[in-house]
Amino acid sequence: MTKMLATSEQQAIAKAFLAARSAKTPLTDYPGAMPQALDEAYAIQDSAIALDGRSIGGWKVGRIADDLVARYGGNRIAGPIFTDEIIDAADGDVPAMPVYGAGFAAAEAEVLLRFGDVDTRDYDIVSIRDAIAEVRTGIEIASSPFPGINQHGPAVTASDYGNNKGLVLGPPIAGWRDADLIAMPVEFRIDGERIGAATMEAMLDGPFGSALFLTRVLRARGIAIAPGTWVSAGAITGVHEIRPGQSAEALFDGKIRVSCTITG
pLDDT tens digit sequence for 66-108: 999 999 999 999 999 999 999 999 999 999 999 999 999 999 9
Residue 221 CA to residue 104 CA, distance in Å, equals 27
Contact 263, 96 (CB under 8 A): yes
Portion of the chain with pLDDT greater than 70, in percent: 99
What pLDDT sits at residue 5?
A: 87
Q: In the sheet where 193-198 sits, what is the strand order?
A: 96-98, 256-263, 247-252, 186-190, 193-198
What percentage of the chain's residues is helix, strand, coil (to nearest 5)? 30, 30, 40
What pLDDT sits at residue 3?
A: 81
What pLDDT sits at residue 210?
A: 98
pLDDT in tens, 223-244: 999 999 999 999 999 999 999 9
Query: Whole-model pTM?
Result: 0.96
Containing 15, the helix (H) or strand (E) segment is helix 8-23
Contact 198, 63 (CB under 8 A): no
Could you tell me the domains of the chain?
A: 8-263 (3.90.850.10)
